[in-house]
């Protein structure tokens, strides 16, 4: 049995708007193993980012974690039930940014334009440790060097606008890693970057993961990035995990019709040129809508009337050793 | 293909002045597009790829004369006559404009939120002399069906549509005047994968139905490869490689293309994580390196690359590359 660093049980995060309730995360169960990369993939609006923000208790009104439990199993220390703490609790503030850190998508908007990059990286170090300024500065410069920022001593005093997108993203990674977190949550860390820079940043994240022995929760819409990075993948659709599997299993042998369609709709090299791409008909449903039965059934090719559109949504069942699928049809085939 | 090309771009340049100080003195030039040449034949799709800042969008906009080129020729064939769009006057351009249309990247900001779908798609018709409302309405209905929306949608405003549907509206608008050439600037990069596939399929269907010619600008090599007959790779304002999709993917001749192909993550089980990564960042077009613009990042760099500017030369039939070492 693997050691689990973080477990999420039946998480429900809903947003209460005037127009109705958006069930952004609607019953997610997930375990992040120690030292591995778990990835959540899905299209926009499926609830992948809200899951990440729920871990850090950063859900602002009108959103609320309605139910569920998120437990942080700290190595060599006591467990913390994150969901028992409010956004501003001392306990959670001590963990956020030090033991659990986060990288955001936009490298420009997650840095302050009026503070130097070095001071911004140093801030969390000063906040979470008792280090003095001189000592902290040395550690920051050391970290900047490790994430591949050239001339860290000069760069320390520069402002974000003086850096390129790739360097800024490196600075953000330095900021996240400066307190040696056990869990790094990376929300679309390379989406705003060019492919050659993306490849550099992904390589950097893998190297640092081995060096610091941390777990990564990688949130992305890009199945290619997932294939590069993840050990485990969870596919989300409308606030639920529809399939979870070991990466190679998922890529070579996807089971849920949504996962299958998602993988087939990506254009690839070496495909029949100009062949038609497989599409998922329709679009992601209105978030206020409550679909009976399987949330994917209105778009599913294998839809079977009477089975898929009845009662409660399907619960993930074990399809293979390391593969769980939430699909009525697969479950029926399996039991027969 | 033996006919005259629909569009011939010859040594196209677009420089932007850098101004500083109180008197707005010109202190330098950003060479966004720096001598680009290619041909585009009727019914063909040419993909133009490059990273941000490589000048690919500027190429598209300069060809359509949304920007005036600094130098070079853009020869466009219409009714067996050839026009140089680069130097044409507004009066010459106006009747030609209906033959060339553009599809934009962001389906949210490229549609006016205060106009109904009918007004948006009908505007190019109105501007070009279809003043009869019922005739316009009929044409808009046709268009909306062609792009996969429903006739009852034409009274609605853009906010009522999803990203993919909005992009379809943008496509319908571009098609309204039966254009010959469509410049599509990152038409699917703002869309989710499943919707992206729908829009790509639609663009392909429309191309074969209406014999359209596409200049397809994008940063995603897989998307470009899927739809294009030929691909042009741009780096720091110059074309570094041009060839058929198949050849370019199988045998890239320029080190940049090779690196770009290696850098794209593929959703397949990984075989090995060790691959050549490009170091450094995209060249700054205001301060280009000497010799070959790619030399500071090139893994195969030699001494002459630092001083001699490589020519864009034909390596195999129809396959050009700008590299001293390509063979």
Q: A146: distance to nearest CA of chain B, Å? A: 15
Distances (CA, A) of B55 to B14, B100, B167: 9, 20, 23
d(Cα A282, Cα A299) in Å, to the nearest integer?
A: 6
Q: Choose among A225, A227, A277: nearest Cβ to B269.
A: A227
What integer pLDDT is reported at residue A268 of this predicted model?
A: 83
> How large a percentage of chain A has pLDDT more than 90?
63
What integer pLDDT is reported at residue A280 of this predicted model?
A: 84
The DSSP symbol for A82 reads G
Closest CA to B128 of B167, B87, B100: B100
Instruction: Collect all residues of chain B within an 8 Å Cβ-Cβ radius of residue A200.
Output: 277-279
Give the model's confidence band at A9: pLDDT under 50 very low, under 70 low, under 90 confident, else very high. very high
Q: Choose among A164, A261, A269: nearest Cβ to B249.
A: A269
Look at residue B101 and tell me whether its pLDDT is greater than 50.
yes
Q: A94: distance to nearest CA of chain B, Å? A: 36
Answer for the pair B169, B112: CB distance below 8 angstroms, yes or no: no
Partner A contacted by B126 (CB < 8 A): no
Instruction: Collect all residues of chain B within an 8 Å Cβ-Cβ radius of residue A198.
Output: 263, 265
The DSSP symbol for A279 reads -
Closest CA to B6 of B43, B52, B40: B40
d(Cα A180, Cα A165) in Å, to the nearest integer?
A: 24
Closest CA to A228 of A267, A187, A200, A256: A200
Closest CA to B100 of B85, B80, B114, B81: B85
Task: Name the A residues in 182-211 with CB < 8 Å from any B CB.
Answer: 194-200, 202-203, 206
A285 to chain B: closest CA residue = B162
d(Cα A221, Cα B268) in Å, to the nearest integer?
A: 15
Look at residue B273 and tell me whether its pLDDT is greater than 60.
no
What integer pLDDT is reported at residue A165 of this predicted model?
A: 84
How confident is the model over B128-147, as a mean pLDDT?
92
d(Cα A253, Cα B142) in Å, to the nearest integer?
A: 42
* CB neighbours of residue A305 within 10 Å: 8
Look at residue A115 and tell me whether its pLDDT is greater than 90.
yes
Instruction: Give per-residue pLDDT as tens, B140-152.
Output: 999 999 999 999 8
For A231, counting Cβ atoms within 10 Å of its Cβ (0-12 exposed, 13-18 middle, 19+ buried), the class is middle
d(Cα A292, Cα B131) in Å, to the nearest integer?
A: 49
Instruction: Give per-residue pLDDT as tens, A182-226.
Output: 999 999 998 888 888 888 889 999 999 999 899 999 999 999 999
Instruction: Collect all residues of chain A within an 8 Å Cβ-Cβ radius of residue B259.
Output: 196
Q: Choose among B195, B200, B265: nearest Cβ to A228.
A: B265
What integer pLDDT is reported at residue A112 of this predicted model?
A: 92
B256 to chain A: closest CA residue = A196
Instruction: Collect all residues of chain B within an 8 Å Cβ-Cβ radius of residue A225.
Output: 265
Instruction: Collect all residues of chain B within an 8 Å Cβ-Cβ radius of residue A283.
Output: 162, 164-165, 194-195
Handedness of CA B249, B251, B253, B258 (dihedral sign): positive
What integer pLDDT is reported at residue A39 of this predicted model?
A: 96
d(Cα A151, Cα B202) in Å, to the nearest integer?
A: 49
| Cα pseudo-dihedral A75, A80, A86, A92, rounded to 10 | -30
The DSSP symbol for B98 reads T
CB pairs under 8 A between A and B: 123
A226 to chain B: closest CA residue = B267
How many helices, marked H, and strands, marked E, lie in chain A?
A: 11, 12
Instruction: Collect all residues of chain A within an 8 Å Cβ-Cβ radius of residue B219.
Output: 194-195
Q: B81: distance to nearest CA of chain A, Å? A: 31
Taking 3-state DSSP, the helix, strand and coil percentages for chain B, each rounded to the nearest 5, stand at 35, 25, 40
ω into A62 cis (within 30 of 0): yes
**Token pair 């074969």: residue:** B208
Closest CA to B209 of B152, B147, B150: B147
Q: A300: distance to nearest CA of chain B, Å? A: 13
The DSSP symbol for A13 reads E
Partner A contacted by B273 (CB < 8 A): yes
Lowest-pLDDT range of A276-285, B218-227, B314-323: A276-285
Task: Please state whether beta strands B238-244 and B319-321 pair in parallel, antiparallel, or not at all (unpaired).
Answer: antiparallel
* CB neighbours of residue B132 within 10 Å: 11
Look at residue A273 and tell me whether its pLDDT is greater than 70.
no
Task: Please state whether beta strands B100-103 and B45-49 pair in parallel, antiparallel, or not at all (unpaired).
Answer: unpaired
d(Cα A158, Cα A144) in Å, to the nearest integer?
A: 13
For B13, counting Cβ atoms within 10 Å of its Cβ (0-12 exposed, 13-18 middle, 19+ buried), the class is middle
Closest CA to A117 of A164, A179, A172: A172
Instruction: Collect all residues of chain A within an 8 Å Cβ-Cβ radius of residue B264.
Output: 195, 224
Lowest-pLDDT range of A294-298, B17-21, B115-119: B17-21
How confident is the model over A73-88, as a mean pLDDT?
87
d(Cα A325, Cα A258) in Å, to the nearest integer?
A: 11
Give the model's confidence band at B266: pLDDT under 50 very low, under 70 low, under 90 confident, else very high. confident
Look at residue A283 and tell me whether its pLDDT is greater than 80.
no
A251 to chain B: closest CA residue = B268
The pair of three-digit structure tokens given for residue B105, joined into one six-digit string: 């990247």
Q: A130: distance to nearest CA of chain B, Å? A: 36
Q: B131: distance to nearest CA of chain A, Å? A: 35
Instruction: Give per-residue pLDDT as tens, A139-174.
Output: 999 999 989 898 999 999 999 999 888 889 899 999
Q: What class is the B7-321 domain? A: alpha beta
Instruction: Give per-residue pLDDT as tens, B53-67.
Output: 889 999 999 999 999
Domain ranges of chain B: 7-321
Closest CA to B185 of B13, B50, B320: B50
What integer pLDDT is reported at residue B272 of this predicted model?
A: 55
Q: Facing residues of A320 across strands?
A: A323
Q: B87: distance to nearest CA of chain A, Å? A: 34
Instruction: Give per-residue pLDDT as tens, A237-250.
Output: 999 999 999 999 99
Look at residue A290 and tell me whether its pLDDT is greater than 90.
no
Average pLDDT value over all residues in chain B: 90
For A11, counting Cβ atoms within 10 Å of its Cβ (0-12 exposed, 13-18 middle, 19+ buried), the class is buried
What integer pLDDT is reported at residue B1 of this predicted model?
A: 46
Instruction: Collect all residues of chain B within an 8 Å Cβ-Cβ radius of residue A226.
Output: 267
How confident is the model over B29-36, as a mean pLDDT?
91
Partner B contacted by A277 (CB < 8 A): yes
- In three-state secondary structure terms, B170 is helix
Instruction: Collect all residues of chain A within an 8 Å Cβ-Cβ radius of residue B282.
Output: 194, 196
Lowest-pLDDT range of A37-41, A216-220, A272-276, B299-303: A272-276
Q: A129: distance to nearest CA of chain B, Å? A: 34
For B104-125, letters b (16+ CB in 10 Å) and e give bbebeebbeeeebbbbbbbebb
d(Cα A128, Cα A95) in Å, to the nearest integer?
A: 9
Distances (CA, A) of B309 to A282, B56, B211, B318, B326: 51, 21, 39, 21, 14
Answer for the pair A210, A242: CB distance below 8 angstroms, yes or no: no
d(Cα B152, Cα B155) in Å, to the nearest integer?
A: 7
What integer pLDDT is reported at residue B326 of this predicted model?
A: 86
Closest CA to A246 of A265, A227, A272: A227
Partner A contacted by B282 (CB < 8 A): yes
Contact state of A277 with B226 under an 8 Å Cβ cutoff: yes
The pair of three-digit structure tokens given for residue B216, joined into one six-digit string: 């397809």
Look at residue A330 and tell me whether its pLDDT is greater than 70.
yes
What integer pLDDT is reported at residue A312 of this predicted model?
A: 87
Transcribe A176-202 into DSSP letters.
Answer: HHTT--SEEEEESTTTTS-HHHHHHHH
């Amino acid at each position: 049995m693997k050691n689990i660093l973080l477990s999420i049980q039946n998480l429900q995060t809903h947003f209460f708007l005037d127009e109705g309730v958006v069930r952004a995360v609607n019953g997610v169960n997930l375990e992040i193993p120690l030292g591995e990369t778990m990835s959540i993939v899905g299209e926009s609006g499926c609830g992948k980012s809200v899951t990440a923000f729920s871990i850090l208790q950063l859900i602002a009104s009108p959103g609320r974690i309605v139910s569920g439990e998120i437990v942080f199993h700290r190595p060599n220390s006591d467990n913390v039930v994150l969901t028992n703490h409010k956004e501003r609790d001392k306990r959670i503030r001590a963990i956020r940014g030090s033991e659990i850190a986060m990288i955001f998508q936009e490298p420009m908007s997650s840095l302050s334009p009026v503070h130097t990059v070095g001071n911004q990286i140093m801030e969390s170090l000063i906040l979470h440790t008792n280090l003095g300024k001189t000592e902290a500065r040395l550690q920051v410069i050391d970290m900047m060097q490790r994430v591949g920022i050239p001339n860290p001593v000069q760069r320390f005093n520069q402002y974000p606008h003086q850096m390129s997108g790739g360097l800024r993203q490196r600075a953000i990674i330095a900021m996240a890693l400066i307190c040696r977190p056990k869990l790094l949550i990376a929300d679309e860390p390379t989406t705003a970057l060019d492919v050659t820079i993306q490849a550099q940043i992904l390589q950097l994240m893998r190297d640092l993961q081995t060096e610091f022995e941390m777990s990564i929760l990688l949130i992305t819409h890009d199945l290619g990035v997932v294939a590069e990075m993840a050990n485990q993948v969870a596919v989300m659709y409308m606030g639920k995990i529809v399939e979870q599997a070991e990466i190679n299993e998922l890529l070579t042998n996807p089971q849920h019709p949504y996962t299958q369609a998602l993988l087939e709709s990506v254009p690839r090299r070496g495909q029949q040129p100009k062949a038609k791409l497989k599409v998922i008909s329709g679009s992601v449903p209105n978030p206020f809508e409550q679909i009976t039965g399987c949330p994917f059934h209105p778009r599913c090719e294998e839809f079977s009337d009477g089975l898929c559109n009845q009662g409660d949504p399907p619960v993930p069942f074990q399809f293979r050793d390391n593969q769980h699928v939430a699909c009525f049809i697969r479950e029926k085939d399996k039991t027969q | 293909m033996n006919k005259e090309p629909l569009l011939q771009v010859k040594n196209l340049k677009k420089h932007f002045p850098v101004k500083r100080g109180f008197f707005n003195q010109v202190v330098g030039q950003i060479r966004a597009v720096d001598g680009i040449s290619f041909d585009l034949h009727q019914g063909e799709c040419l993909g133009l790829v490059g990273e941000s800042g490589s000048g690919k969008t500027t190429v598209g906009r300069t060809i359509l004369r949304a920007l005036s080129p600094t130098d070079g020729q853009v020869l466009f064939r219409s009714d067996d006559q050839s026009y140089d769009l680069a130097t044409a006057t507004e009066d010459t351009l106006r009747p030609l404009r209906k033959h060339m249309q553009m599809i934009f990247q962001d389906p949210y900001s490229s549609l006016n939120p205060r106009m109904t779908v009918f007004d948006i798609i009908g505007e190019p018709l109105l501007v070009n002399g279809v003043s009869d409302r019922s005739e316009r309405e009929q044409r808009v209905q046709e268009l909306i069906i062609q792009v996969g929306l429903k006739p009852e949608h034409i009274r609605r405003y853009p906010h009522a549509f999803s990203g993919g549907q909005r992009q379809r509206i943008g496509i319908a608008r571009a098609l309204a005047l039966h254009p010959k050439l469509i410049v599509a600037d990152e038409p699917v990069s703002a869309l989710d994968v499943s919707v992206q596939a729908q829009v790509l399929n639609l663009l392909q269907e429309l191309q074969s139905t209406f014999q359209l010619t596409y200049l397809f600008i994008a940063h995603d090599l897989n998307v470009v490869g899927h739809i294009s007959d030929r691909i042009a790779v741009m780096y720091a304002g110059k074309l570094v490689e041009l060839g058929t999709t198949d050849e370019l993917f199988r045998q890239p001749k320029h080190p940049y293309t090779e690196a770009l192909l290696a850098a794209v993550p593929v959703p397949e089980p990984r075989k090995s994580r060790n691959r050549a990564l490009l170091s450094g960042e995209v060249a700054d077009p205001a301060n280009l390196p000497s010799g070959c613009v790619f030399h500071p990042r090139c893994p195969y760099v030699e001494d002459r690359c630092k001083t001699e500017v490589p020519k864009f030369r034909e390596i195999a039939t129809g396959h050009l590359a700008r590299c001293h070492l390509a063979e």
